[in-house]
Protein backbone atom coordinates (compact mmCIF):
# COMPACT_ATOMS: atom_id res chain seq x y z
CA UNK A 1 0.00 0.00 0.00
CA UNK A 2 1.03 3.60 -0.69
CA UNK A 3 -0.15 6.84 0.87
CA UNK A 4 0.10 9.97 -1.25
CA UNK A 5 -0.31 13.42 0.30
CA UNK A 6 -0.84 16.78 -1.42
CA UNK A 7 -0.50 19.57 1.14
CA UNK A 8 -0.78 23.32 0.87
CA UNK A 9 -1.79 26.52 2.59
CA UNK A 10 -5.51 25.83 2.41
CA UNK A 11 -6.01 22.07 2.66
CA UNK A 12 -4.23 18.71 2.72
CA UNK A 13 -5.51 15.70 0.81
CA UNK A 14 -4.38 12.11 1.18
CA UNK A 15 -5.10 8.88 -0.69
CA UNK A 16 -4.39 5.26 0.20
CA UNK A 17 -3.67 3.26 -2.96
CA UNK A 18 -2.58 -0.29 -3.76
CA UNK A 19 0.04 -1.22 -6.36
CA UNK A 20 -2.65 -1.70 -9.04
CA UNK A 21 -3.78 1.91 -8.76
CA UNK A 22 -6.96 1.14 -6.82
CA UNK A 23 -7.85 3.96 -4.41
CA UNK A 24 -8.79 2.36 -1.11
CA UNK A 25 -9.60 5.61 0.70
CA UNK A 26 -9.34 9.36 0.34
CA UNK A 27 -9.57 12.16 2.90
CA UNK A 28 -9.04 15.91 3.18
CA UNK A 29 -8.07 17.92 6.26
CA UNK A 30 -6.70 21.41 6.98
CA UNK A 31 -3.56 23.22 5.81
CA UNK A 32 -0.02 21.86 6.18
CA UNK A 33 2.28 24.49 4.63
CA UNK A 34 4.95 24.99 7.35
CA UNK A 35 5.42 28.63 6.36
CA UNK A 36 1.93 29.55 7.47
CA UNK A 37 0.76 26.87 9.90
CA UNK A 38 1.99 26.11 13.44
CA UNK A 39 3.70 22.78 14.11
CA UNK A 40 1.03 21.68 16.56
CA UNK A 41 -1.70 22.35 14.00
CA UNK A 42 0.15 20.48 11.23
CA UNK A 43 0.63 17.54 13.58
CA UNK A 44 -3.06 17.50 14.47
CA UNK A 45 -4.17 17.71 10.83
CA UNK A 46 -1.82 14.95 9.65
CA UNK A 47 -2.76 12.71 12.59
CA UNK A 48 -6.40 13.14 11.62
CA UNK A 49 -5.58 12.48 7.95
CA UNK A 50 -3.84 9.16 8.64
CA UNK A 51 -6.66 8.13 10.96
CA UNK A 52 -9.26 8.84 8.27
CA UNK A 53 -7.27 7.08 5.53
CA UNK A 54 -6.75 3.88 7.54
CA UNK A 55 -10.03 4.01 9.48
CA UNK A 56 -7.92 3.98 12.67
CA UNK A 57 -6.31 0.65 11.71
CA UNK A 58 -2.51 0.11 11.96
CA UNK A 59 -0.33 1.30 9.08
CA UNK A 60 1.42 -2.07 8.87
CA UNK A 61 0.50 -2.60 5.18
CA UNK A 62 1.79 0.83 4.12
CA UNK A 63 5.35 0.66 2.74
CA UNK A 64 5.74 4.26 1.51
CA UNK A 65 4.28 7.68 2.26
CA UNK A 66 5.02 10.26 -0.43
CA UNK A 67 4.08 13.83 0.47
CA UNK A 68 4.16 16.80 -1.88
CA UNK A 69 3.95 19.79 0.48
CA UNK A 70 4.19 23.46 -0.44
CA UNK A 71 6.71 25.53 1.49
CA UNK A 72 9.24 22.78 2.32
CA UNK A 73 12.02 23.78 -0.08
CA UNK A 74 14.18 25.80 2.30
CA UNK A 75 15.29 26.17 5.88
CA UNK A 76 15.42 22.46 6.63
CA UNK A 77 11.63 22.21 6.45
CA UNK A 78 11.74 19.08 4.26
CA UNK A 79 13.68 17.18 6.91
CA UNK A 80 11.48 18.65 9.64
CA UNK A 81 8.30 17.51 7.87
CA UNK A 82 9.73 14.03 7.27
CA UNK A 83 10.54 13.69 10.95
CA UNK A 84 7.09 14.93 11.92
CA UNK A 85 5.33 12.39 9.71
CA UNK A 86 7.51 9.57 11.02
CA UNK A 87 6.69 10.56 14.59
CA UNK A 88 3.00 10.09 13.75
CA UNK A 89 3.19 6.95 11.62
CA UNK A 90 6.15 5.13 13.14
CA UNK A 91 9.78 4.89 12.15
CA UNK A 92 9.44 1.70 10.07
CA UNK A 93 7.54 3.32 7.21
CA UNK A 94 9.53 4.99 4.44
CA UNK A 95 8.62 8.67 4.15
CA UNK A 96 9.50 10.98 1.25
CA UNK A 97 8.69 14.70 1.41
CA UNK A 98 9.06 16.87 -1.69
CA UNK A 99 8.01 20.25 -3.02
CA UNK A 100 4.43 19.96 -4.29
CA UNK A 101 5.63 21.18 -7.70
CA UNK A 102 7.25 17.81 -8.45
CA UNK A 103 3.97 15.98 -7.86
CA UNK A 104 2.15 18.55 -10.00
CA UNK A 105 4.69 17.77 -12.76
CA UNK A 106 4.17 14.03 -12.42
CA UNK A 107 0.39 14.44 -12.56
CA UNK A 108 0.90 15.39 -16.20
CA UNK A 109 3.99 13.40 -17.22
CA UNK A 110 3.05 10.17 -15.35
CA UNK A 111 6.39 10.17 -13.58
CA UNK A 112 8.57 11.31 -16.49
CA UNK A 113 10.88 14.38 -16.68
CA UNK A 114 9.61 17.73 -17.90
CA UNK A 115 8.63 21.22 -16.80
CA UNK A 116 5.58 22.33 -14.83
CA UNK A 117 4.19 25.84 -14.55
CA UNK A 118 1.76 26.32 -11.69
CA UNK A 119 -0.45 29.41 -11.88
CA UNK A 120 -2.51 29.76 -8.73
CA UNK A 121 -2.56 32.38 -5.99
CA UNK A 122 1.21 32.33 -6.54
CA UNK A 123 3.24 30.92 -9.41
CA UNK A 124 6.30 28.73 -9.93
CA UNK A 125 8.00 26.98 -12.84
CA UNK A 126 9.75 23.76 -11.84
CA UNK A 127 11.58 21.11 -13.81
CA UNK A 128 13.31 17.74 -13.74
CA UNK A 129 15.55 16.30 -16.45
CA UNK A 130 16.57 12.75 -17.42
CA UNK A 131 19.62 12.92 -15.13
CA UNK A 132 17.46 13.70 -12.11
CA UNK A 133 18.63 17.32 -11.92
CA UNK A 134 16.00 19.74 -10.65
CA UNK A 135 15.64 23.48 -10.81
CA UNK A 136 13.05 26.21 -10.54
CA UNK A 137 12.21 29.70 -11.69
CA UNK A 138 10.04 31.84 -9.44
CA UNK A 139 8.04 30.57 -6.53
CA UNK A 140 9.73 33.14 -4.28
CA UNK A 141 6.51 34.72 -3.03
CA UNK A 142 4.23 37.39 -4.39
CA UNK A 143 6.79 40.21 -4.24
CA UNK A 144 9.41 38.58 -6.46
CA UNK A 145 9.01 37.28 -10.04
CA UNK A 146 5.41 36.15 -9.65
CA UNK A 147 4.13 37.32 -13.01
CA UNK A 148 1.71 34.50 -13.87
CA UNK A 149 -0.12 34.30 -10.56
CA UNK A 150 -3.57 35.29 -9.37
CA UNK A 151 -1.86 38.00 -7.35
CA UNK A 152 -0.15 39.45 -10.45
CA UNK A 153 -3.42 39.45 -12.40
CA UNK A 154 -5.32 41.06 -9.55
CA UNK A 155 -2.63 43.68 -8.95
CA UNK A 156 -2.62 44.65 -12.64
CA UNK A 157 -6.38 45.15 -12.68
CA UNK A 158 -6.34 47.16 -9.44
CA UNK A 159 -3.58 49.36 -10.84
CA UNK A 160 -5.71 49.97 -13.93
CA UNK A 161 -8.78 50.84 -11.82
CA UNK A 162 -6.84 53.25 -9.60
CA UNK A 163 -5.11 54.81 -12.62
CA UNK A 164 -8.48 55.57 -14.19
CA UNK A 165 -9.69 56.97 -10.87
CA UNK A 166 -6.62 59.20 -10.52
CA UNK A 167 -7.24 60.58 -14.01
CA UNK A 168 -10.70 61.67 -12.91
CA UNK A 169 -12.49 59.38 -15.32
CA UNK A 170 -15.97 58.09 -14.62
CA UNK A 171 -16.06 54.52 -13.25
CA UNK A 172 -15.91 52.01 -16.10
CA UNK A 173 -17.32 48.47 -16.18
CA UNK A 174 -14.11 47.05 -14.67
CA UNK A 175 -14.24 49.54 -11.80
CA UNK A 176 -17.81 48.48 -11.13
CA UNK A 177 -16.78 44.81 -11.32
CA UNK A 178 -14.02 45.31 -8.73
CA UNK A 179 -16.32 47.31 -6.44
CA UNK A 180 -18.96 44.60 -6.71
CA UNK A 181 -16.33 41.93 -6.02
CA UNK A 182 -15.42 43.62 -2.73
CA UNK A 183 -18.92 44.91 -1.99
CA UNK A 184 -17.71 48.52 -1.80
CA UNK A 185 -19.30 51.70 -3.10
CA UNK A 186 -16.26 53.74 -4.17
CA UNK A 187 -12.65 53.23 -5.25
CA UNK A 188 -11.32 55.01 -2.16
CA UNK A 189 -13.16 52.51 0.06
CA UNK A 190 -11.06 49.69 -1.41
CA UNK A 191 -7.82 50.84 0.25
CA UNK A 192 -8.49 49.78 3.87
CA UNK A 193 -9.67 46.40 2.63
CA UNK A 194 -6.76 45.79 0.25
CA UNK A 195 -4.21 46.65 2.94
CA UNK A 196 -5.85 44.60 5.68
CA UNK A 197 -2.99 43.34 7.83
CA UNK A 198 -1.78 39.88 6.89
CA UNK A 199 -4.39 39.40 4.17
CA UNK A 200 -3.24 41.61 1.28
CA UNK A 201 -1.83 38.80 -0.87
CA UNK A 202 -5.00 36.71 -0.86
CA UNK A 203 -7.25 39.76 -1.18
CA UNK A 204 -5.41 41.05 -4.26
CA UNK A 205 -5.15 37.54 -5.74
CA UNK A 206 -8.93 37.16 -5.52
CA UNK A 207 -9.25 39.97 -8.12
CA UNK A 208 -7.61 37.60 -10.58
CA UNK A 209 -11.01 35.92 -10.88
CA UNK A 210 -12.42 39.19 -12.24
CA UNK A 211 -9.66 39.32 -14.86
CA UNK A 212 -10.37 35.74 -15.94
CA UNK A 213 -14.13 36.37 -16.09
CA UNK A 214 -13.93 39.55 -18.18
CA UNK A 215 -11.22 38.16 -20.48
CA UNK A 216 -13.63 35.34 -21.23
CA UNK A 217 -16.01 38.06 -22.47
CA UNK A 218 -13.27 39.55 -24.70
CA UNK A 219 -12.53 42.58 -22.53
CA UNK A 220 -9.39 44.12 -24.06
CA UNK A 221 -7.82 45.29 -20.79
CA UNK A 222 -8.19 41.90 -19.14
CA UNK A 223 -7.00 40.08 -22.24
CA UNK A 224 -3.90 42.30 -22.25
CA UNK A 225 -3.26 41.42 -18.59
CA UNK A 226 -3.44 37.70 -19.44
CA UNK A 227 -1.20 38.20 -22.47
CA UNK A 228 1.51 39.75 -20.29
CA UNK A 229 1.15 36.89 -17.79
CA UNK A 230 1.55 34.36 -20.62
CA UNK A 231 4.71 36.10 -21.82
CA UNK A 232 6.14 35.85 -18.30
CA UNK A 233 5.19 32.17 -18.04
CA UNK A 234 6.87 31.27 -21.32
CA UNK A 235 9.95 33.33 -20.40
CA UNK A 236 10.25 31.31 -17.16
CA UNK A 237 9.82 28.06 -19.08
CA UNK A 238 12.59 29.04 -21.50
CA UNK A 239 14.95 29.97 -18.66
CA UNK A 240 14.37 26.59 -17.04
CA UNK A 241 14.77 24.79 -20.37
CA UNK A 242 18.23 26.35 -20.80
CA UNK A 243 19.17 25.31 -17.24
CA UNK A 244 17.99 21.70 -17.44
CA UNK A 245 17.66 20.63 -21.08
CA UNK A 246 20.42 22.57 -22.88
CA UNK A 247 22.29 19.35 -23.68
CA UNK A 248 19.18 17.43 -24.78
CA UNK A 249 19.27 15.99 -28.28
CA UNK A 250 17.77 18.41 -30.77
CA UNK A 251 14.05 17.92 -31.53
CA UNK A 252 13.50 15.99 -28.28
CA UNK A 253 9.97 16.83 -27.13
CA UNK A 254 9.84 18.40 -23.65
CA UNK A 255 6.53 18.04 -21.77
CA UNK A 256 5.24 21.33 -20.36
CA UNK A 257 2.58 20.75 -17.71
CA UNK A 258 0.23 23.67 -17.05
CA UNK A 259 -1.76 23.54 -13.83
CA UNK A 260 -3.19 25.67 -11.03
CA UNK A 261 -6.48 27.50 -10.56
CA UNK A 262 -5.79 30.26 -13.09
CA UNK A 263 -4.91 27.77 -15.84
CA UNK A 264 -7.89 25.57 -15.04
CA UNK A 265 -10.34 28.46 -15.38
CA UNK A 266 -8.79 30.51 -18.19
CA UNK A 267 -8.73 29.09 -21.69
CA UNK A 268 -7.54 32.51 -22.82
CA UNK A 269 -4.34 32.32 -20.75
CA UNK A 270 -3.57 28.84 -22.06
CA UNK A 271 -4.21 30.04 -25.61
CA UNK A 272 -1.77 32.95 -25.16
CA UNK A 273 0.86 30.57 -23.76
CA UNK A 274 0.43 28.25 -26.74
CA UNK A 275 0.81 31.16 -29.17
CA UNK A 276 3.97 32.37 -27.41
CA UNK A 277 5.45 28.89 -27.67
CA UNK A 278 4.51 28.57 -31.35
CA UNK A 279 6.43 31.76 -32.12
CA UNK A 280 9.53 30.30 -30.45
CA UNK A 281 9.29 27.14 -32.58
CA UNK A 282 10.38 25.00 -29.61
CA UNK A 283 9.67 21.27 -29.30
CA UNK A 284 7.42 21.79 -26.28
CA UNK A 285 4.37 19.60 -25.73
CA UNK A 286 1.74 21.25 -23.51
CA UNK A 287 -0.14 19.00 -21.09
CA UNK A 288 -3.14 20.01 -18.98
CA UNK A 289 -3.77 17.20 -16.48
CA UNK A 290 -7.30 15.87 -16.11
CA UNK A 291 -6.61 14.81 -12.52
CA UNK A 292 -5.68 16.73 -9.37
CA UNK A 293 -1.96 16.99 -8.45
CA UNK A 294 -2.27 14.27 -5.79
CA UNK A 295 -2.19 11.66 -8.58
CA UNK A 296 1.43 12.70 -9.06
CA UNK A 297 2.30 11.48 -5.55
CA UNK A 298 1.32 7.95 -6.58
CA UNK A 299 3.37 8.05 -9.79
CA UNK A 300 6.31 9.34 -7.72
CA UNK A 301 5.80 6.52 -5.20
CA UNK A 302 5.69 3.84 -7.88
CA UNK A 303 8.94 5.21 -9.35
CA UNK A 304 10.58 5.13 -5.92
CA UNK A 305 9.50 1.50 -5.51
CA UNK A 306 10.69 0.59 -9.04
CA UNK A 307 7.16 -0.37 -10.03
CA UNK A 308 6.05 -0.11 -13.66
CA UNK A 309 3.68 2.75 -14.45
CA UNK A 310 1.69 1.16 -17.24
CA UNK A 311 -1.50 2.14 -19.06
CA UNK A 312 -3.64 -0.15 -16.90
CA UNK A 313 -2.47 1.48 -13.66
CA UNK A 314 -2.84 5.00 -15.11
CA UNK A 315 -6.39 4.31 -16.32
CA UNK A 316 -7.41 2.63 -13.07
CA UNK A 317 -6.01 5.42 -10.90
CA UNK A 318 -7.13 8.43 -12.89
CA UNK A 319 -10.69 7.22 -13.48
CA UNK A 320 -11.18 7.29 -9.72
CA UNK A 321 -9.74 10.78 -9.26
CA UNK A 322 -11.13 12.78 -12.19
Residue 35 has pLDDT above 90, yes or no: no
Let me know: does 243 contact 135? Beta carbons within 8 Å. Answer: yes
- What average pLDDT is seen over the chain? 92
Angle at 119 between CA 3 and CA 206, to 5 degrees: 105
**Among the listed ranges 20-24, 34-38, 130-134, which one has the minimum average pLDDT value?**
34-38
* 273-291: average pLDDT: 89
* Structural fold of domain 101-289: Nucleotidyltransferase; domain 5 (3.30.420)
At CB < 8 A and 24+ separation, what contacts does 270-273 make? 272/226, 272/227, 272/229, 272/230, 272/231, 273/230, 273/233, 273/234
Domains 2-92+291-321 and 101-289 share a fold: yes
pTM of the model: 0.89
Looking at residue 56, what is its pLDDT? 67
Report domain 2-92+291-321's class. alpha beta
Mind listing the pLDDT tens digit for each residue in 177-202? Answer: 999 999 999 999 999 999 998 889 88
Is the pLDDT assigned to residue 235 strictly greater than 90?
yes
pLDDT tens-digit series, residues 259-269: 988 999 999 99
Report domain extents, the chain: 2-92+291-321, 101-289
Contacts of 145 (CB under 8 A, 6+ apart): 137, 138, 236
Which region among 80-84, 101-105, 185-189, 282-286 has the lowest average model confidence (pLDDT)? 282-286
pLDDT confidence of residue 225? 98
Amino acid sequence: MIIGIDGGGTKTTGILVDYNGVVVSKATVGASNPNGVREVDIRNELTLLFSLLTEKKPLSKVVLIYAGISGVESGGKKEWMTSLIKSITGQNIRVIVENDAITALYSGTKGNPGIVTICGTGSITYGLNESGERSRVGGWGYLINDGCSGFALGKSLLEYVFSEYDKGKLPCHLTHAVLQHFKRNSVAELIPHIYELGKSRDIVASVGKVVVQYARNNDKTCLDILRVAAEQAVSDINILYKKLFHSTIQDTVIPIVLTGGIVEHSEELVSFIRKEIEVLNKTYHIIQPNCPPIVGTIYASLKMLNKEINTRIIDTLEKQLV
